[in-house]
Amino acid sequence: MWKKKPFVAATVVLGLLLLFLFIKLIMPCKEYHFEGGYAFETGVATSNTVIYDGISLTPGVYRIELAYETDTDLGAYCNVQDGTVYTGGLLCNGEHMYSALEKTEYEMWLYESTENLQVVLTFAGNGNLTTGNLKIVETNQLWTMLLTMVLFGAAVFYSVLAFYYYDKEHPVSKEKKQVFFFLAVISFIASLPYLYGCSYTGADLTYHLQRIEGVKDGLLSGQFPVRLEPKWVYNHGYADAIFYCNALLYFPAVLRILGFTVTASYNVYCIFLTIATVWISYYSFSRIFKNDTIGVICSALYTLSVFRIYKLVITTAVGEGSAVTFIPLVIYGLYRVFSEEPKEPKYKTAWVPIMLGYAGLIQTHVLTCEITALVTVIICLIYIRKIFCKDTFWELAKGAMGALLLSIWFLIPFLDYYVTQDVHIKHVSARTIQSSGLTLAHLLFHFWNNGAHTPADGSGVYHSHPVGIGLVLIIGLGLFLILWFSGAFQKMDDGFASFTKRISLIGIILLVMSLNVFPWDKIQDLHPVAASLVSSLQFPNRFLGWGSVCLILVFGFCLWYFCSKGSKAYWIMVAVALLGVTSSGMYLLDYVKMGQGYYELYNEESMGFGYISGGEYVIEGTDADKLSFAKPEVYGDVELLSYEKGCLQATLTCVNPSGEQGYVDVPLLLYKGYEAFCQETEEEIELTYGKNNVIRALIPAGFEGSLKIGFVSPIYWRIAEIISALTIAMLLVTGWKYRRKKDVKKEMQ
């Protein structure tokens, strides 16, 4: 292959491209300075006032730093414009201005040389606003972005080429090609919402984009793993990552660091997630049914399920949408544990899917993990006798232990904060959820569109959000029950049929739990712990995720049953599945585009830094609305001589000449892990909660010196991280050895 002409030609082109990009990367970045100033008239609102124009720049990603002074927050907006570059040649959303900041710091993407770039300001007329000098700083992100794209393109190209030549010499079976082909088609169709060059707005979109930006900013500030998002809540630092694991968000965050825009990074991540869902669900279902075609059909039903589209595309609940990816692994693991013969050698690997599935769930969405744990407990109770079998128990225990070890890097800080920090999430048990439940009609609905109402507002199905599972799965369930009660499965004495029967019942229970007739309110009244758990669920429709998986398994079983009988009903079922996917999943995807608004976000600053959804992870009592970019506040006789603020850290020089203790409030939200010490004496300075729960450094009487405040992960968090890293390494080595052993066995045969 290496000597083939296309390969050589591609390698030469790639080499030249890489050389060009490396040269561009090592070239120093330029800075452009412009002097000037503009004073806006108080009380006069203006729009797009040109502050600087005629700026000449070559293509690149630039940071715009415009000095300014203002006494109001969010009263003005700075942006760039250029009527001379081609449409889409200049990407930038600008940045708001704040009284506590001295300059803007936002990025713009310029894809064409210009002679007439303008910096413009929109001023609401409130307070004073004066602008100063302008600095435009070139970054090398355009070239890192292009390098990433070239490397990705090369990887795809070489893979295709390698496959082409391999297939020529050792023909790949048609069955394998067919599976790959249809999974690629499903991936493409399910990824369509992310191929519009924009992000469709959903209730949670800004929040999750902030999470991605948080990981990016955390990594850039030197944290790994990222625990507190440094720029979130106006540079106060937010503990989102401690409570809401962001393991998968490192991927879009790295894309952001490499220079991709906010929207592009998000869309690429969602496409990656969709492809992962397609392959994982195919893997799980095809292994359960030992039939590739049924695996592909179940994968299509799952990836294009109403629930998944609702969560990931419509509400843009990225956490829950990501968790959906891992649910099939858990059900596959449970199927193996409870329906395979423990004495068989392959049984010894039954714990692996459970471990991977649970680890994925913990590290994406804890609530889905809780529901999964509930389903697992129900299944274990149903199979209580098997649990007492040593092998079965051991497989379950290994799965649970593996998941715990893989996730311990997240769980330890999570539990640490949950126990020691009085965060707002611990005070939401009063929220009831029963009224947000569905009606039976929701479950029977098929032609969903994005809708405008949640079931909670008493509007029933009228223009409702697609909180359902689609009629096709209900048809599958109905058919399964008919077959079951007509005795069709009686002669099947293997564990598979009995497992599916139980899963069908669990599916029905989960669907009932999503209805508004399920007594969630009464359960909440039983005990404070129950109240807290139920309240944290927020919406009963969360049960539809597992409900969908259970019913897809049931649908797949019907397919498998008819297939094994050689019945024509198999093809009817295949047609029903195809009809379901095209008339429900694809229909919904189209209507999302039709009915949903969209954003084209390029730089993170345009989103602002304040949105924290329900503010679940601030210290109880914090008024998030009153937080903005701020300067330190001194109390007592303390005199502040200098102040420098970084990410999750601040350095200040101060004197306290009085004989009494004074204090300084630093604009950082106080969480466990912050430390302060005097740089000269290395003496520790006490920190306590200040105004609105920011860090208050207590300055001893007679203090004179520099004070450094910073966030440091406790040592036991670090140990937990090492344990997780060792577990991953151990699993990789074991997996590699297992694989080699298998290959050697194959070769021997």
Summarize as ranges the residues that interact with another protein (CB under 8 A).
86-89, 174, 177-178, 181, 185, 189, 192-198, 571, 578, 582, 586-587, 590-591, 593-594
* Spatial separation of the C-alpha atoms in residues 109 and 239, rounded to whole Å: 30
User: Sign of dihedral through CA atoms 284, 290, 296, 297?
Assistant: negative
Nearest CB to another protein, comparing residues 448 and 561: 448
* Spatial separation of the C-alpha atoms in residues 283 and 295, rounded to whole Å: 7
Q: How far is the CB of 191 from another protein (least distance, A)?
A: 8
The total number of residues shown for the chain amounts to: 749
DSSP 8-state code for residue 515: B
Nearest CB to another protein, comparing residues 414 and 602: 602
Q: How far is the CB of 492 from another protein (least distance, A)?
A: 26
Nearest CB to another protein, comparing residues 19 and 162: 162
* Spatial separation of the C-alpha atoms in residues 421 and 157, rounded to whole Å: 51
- How far is C-alpha 129 from the chain's CA centre? 38
* Spatial separation of the C-alpha atoms in residues 143 and 149, rounded to whole Å: 10
Nearest CB to another protein, comparing residues 246 and 291: 291
* Spatial separation of the C-alpha atoms in residues 117 and 80, rounded to whole Å: 7
Pick from 682, 699, 679, 700: nearest CA to 632: 699
**Residue 417 CB: number of other CB atoms within 10 A?**
20
Q: How far is the CB of 86 from another protein (least distance, A)?
A: 4
Q: How far is the CB of 565 from another protein (least distance, A)?
A: 17
Pick from 553, 586, 555: nearest CA to 573: 555
Q: How far is the CB of 189 from another protein (least distance, A)?
A: 8
Contacts of 225 (CB under 8 A, 6+ apart): 241, 409, 721
Beta bridge partners, 688, equal 696
Nearest CB to another protein, comparing residues 536 and 583: 583
Element (H, E) at 572: helix 569-580
Q: How far is the CB of 398 from another protein (least distance, A)?
A: 39
Pick from 345, 342, 285: nearest CA to 742: 345
Nearest CB to another protein, comparing residues 387 and 586: 586
For residue 655, which amino acid is it? V
**The Cα angle at residue 334 between residues 333 and 338, in degrees rounded to 5:** 120
Q: How far is the CB of 171 from another protein (least distance, A)?
A: 9
Q: How far is the CB of 415 from another protein (least distance, A)?
A: 42
Nearest CB to another protein, comparing residues 425 and 592: 592
Beta bridge partners, 121, equal 49, 78
Nearest CB to another protein, comparing residues 192 and 488: 192
Q: How far is the CB of 182 from another protein (least distance, A)?
A: 8
Nearest CB to another protein, comparing residues 30 and 565: 565
